[in-house]
């Protein structure tokens, strides 16, 4: 195994990112591998939204410092959920955050 491969194995990385009713995403699930991730697309496609989602899973208030209520998808129920599976030297960890939306009307 090369030293680069050994270093990648020792780093932590997001192996799966799932968004529900977050910004412009009704639902999205990304499977990721170790190493660099390149986001490309048209303006308004949601690249920065993905970065903001990851930033909300870290300590602090996120990339844009937006209140939780402001990151829920417009046209959704007012709630959102973020979930990440993280792979690291100590194994797999799952983290998430979000807020509940409006209760279902019956």
For the stretch 55-94, pLDDT in tens is: 999 887 787 788 777 889 988 898 999 999 999 999 999 9
**Model's pTM, two decimal places?**
0.81
Half-sphere exposure at residue 72, Cβ-oriented, CA atoms within 13 angstroms: 14
Q: Which of 15, 22, 16 is nearest to 98 (CA)?
A: 22
Give the whole-number percent of the chain exceeding pLDDT 70: 88
C-beta separation of 42 from 35 below 8 A: no
User: CB 84: neighbour CB atoms within 10 A?
Assistant: 21
| Selection from 65, 39, 37, 33 nearest residue 52 by Cα | 65
Class of the domain covering 3-98: alpha beta
| Domain parsing of the chain, residue ranges | 3-98
Helix (H, G, I), strand (E, B) or coil at 78: coil
């Amino acid at each position: 195994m090369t030293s680069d491969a050994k270093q990648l194995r020792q780093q932590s990385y997001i192996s799966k990112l799932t968004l529900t009713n977050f910004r412009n995403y009704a639902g999205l699930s990304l499977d990721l591998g170790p190493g660099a991730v390149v986001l490309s697309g048209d303006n308004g496609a949601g690249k920065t939204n993905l970065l903001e989602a990851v930033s909300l899973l870290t300590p602090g208030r996120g990339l844009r410092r937006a209140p939780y209520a402001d990151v829920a998808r417009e046209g959704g129920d007012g709630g959102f959920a973020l979930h990440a599976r993280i792979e690291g030297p100590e194994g797999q960890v799952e983290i998430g955050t979000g807020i509940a939306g409006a209760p279902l009307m019956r």
